[in-house]
Each structure stands twice: as structure tokens, then as C-alpha cells.
Amino acid sequence: MKKVVKTKEIAKLISDFCHYCKSDTVCKLARIDIRYFTRKRVFTVFDLICFLMFRSHKTTNQELSSFFSKANRLKKCVSKQAIHQDLSKMNPVVFMNLFKKFREVFYSSKLVKTFKNYIILSEDGTFLEIPFSFPNIMNYGFCENQHVSNIHDVKKVMAKGAGIYDVINGIFLDFIIRPANYSGMPLAIQHLYRIKDTLKDKSVIFLADRYYGSI
């Protein structure tokens, strides 16, 4: 019986979140320009969001084949060029909103597991290699060393990634990417401010490396 109840809760969680992802609110947030994503499309904003959330292959062509195959829509598979064009029109701010909505849906469900009634959160940062491009070099910067003296010497672009993670439930509550020289402390503060409304009535244990405790 417990497994049946849990399956129903998971199905409801996914259904509620997907319903929100298909909403006009998300569609508007996903646009860089109000003219984008307004016509009836084969590859919708919801498709694009799912495509990005479930990426697991090394190339875009592999991702497209896998995505449309699993959706049983191979005959309607779009091109790599079309995907890149859609991505250039998409506002990444929409994912901050989706993080917030998923937190709200999940922590209001019966699926939340705790340790002695405490939610266990963990915070940490790491360095990420992001796609090599001139805009990324300008936005995320580069470190000068014996091999890199100017922008023309840059071979790869690095960024600082930081996330806050629910250890027991296995989900990220928030994630931020900033320039590689960005301090992890302000990122942790931003995470805590963003999630405080969702967890304000719950007991939480916060785990992190040294120095983080001061926040």
C-alpha cells in the first residue's frame, strides 16, 4: 500500500510541475524578447526546457535523437541549428523560477524524507568548464598565468558553480554559476535567501566546509 501511495504522490508531483512548465508564466519568462516563442511550434518552450533538464549525451545530435526517440516523435525531430537558434532566444532566468517552483511543489508533498525530523542541506562550490566562446570569455573572464597573457591565449573557459543540496532527498534546491574568481560565500548567502521562504517552517541542518558557518 505504501508503494502505491508513493507512486501516486510522485505522479502528482511530476504532473503539477509539468503543468507549471507549460504555463504562460514560464513561456513569458523564457523569452529574451516578447516576440519570441509566440507562434505555434513543433518544438515548444516546454520541449526546450525538458531537453535542457535531461541532457546526458556528449553531442547535440545525440541529445536530439534520444529526446525525440523517447517521446516517440522521431519524424518531427528538429535540427541542431534550430535548437541553437532557440537557445539564443531563451532567457536563462526562467530556470531560477523553475527551481523555486519545484522546491514549493516538492516540500509541500508527502515525499519529503528527513533525519530525525530535520532536513539536511549541504552547500559547496566547484569549478566548471563551460562552452568556449567570446561572449563567455568576456562574461566569465580568465586568469592570467605563464600560458595565458591575453584573451587570444585562452583555450578553455572556467566558471564557478555553487549549489545547495538536500542530502536525504537527493535534489538541488538552487544552483548558481558565476565567474571563476567569484567567492563561494556570497553564493551560499544567495542560496539561503532564495530557499528561506520554502523552508521557513521546517527544521534544517546546514552542512558546509569551514568558513561557511559564519553566514
Question: Grid coordinates representing 73?
Answer: 516523435
Q: Among 125, 122, 200, which Cα is nearest to 167's?
A: 122
* pLDDT of 146 over the 80 cut: no
Task: Kindly tell me if the per-residue pLDDT of 3 is higher than 60.
Answer: no
In this model, does residue 1 exceed pLDDT 50? no
What residues pair up with 160 in beta bridges, in sequence order?
A: 127, 178
The pLDDT assigned to 164 comes to: 95
Q: How many CB atoms lie within 10 A of CB 126?
A: 10
pLDDT in tens, 173-195: 999 999 988 888 899 999 999 99
Cβ atoms within 10 A of the Cβ of 93, count?
11
Comparing C-alpha atoms, which of 116, 118, 122 is closest to residue 171?
122
- Alpha helices by DSSP H, listed for 108-174, are 134-140
Segment 24-36 shows an average pLDDT of 89
Higher pLDDT, 168 or 133: 168
For residue 130, pLDDT beyond 50:
yes
pLDDT value of residue 118: 97
Domain ranges of the chain: 2-96, 113-214
Q: What does the pLDDT look like over 42-98, one tens digit per residue?
A: 788 888 898 888 888 778 888 888 888 888 887 788 888 888 888 888 998 999 999
Question: Rounded distance, CA 145 to CA 72, Å?
Answer: 50
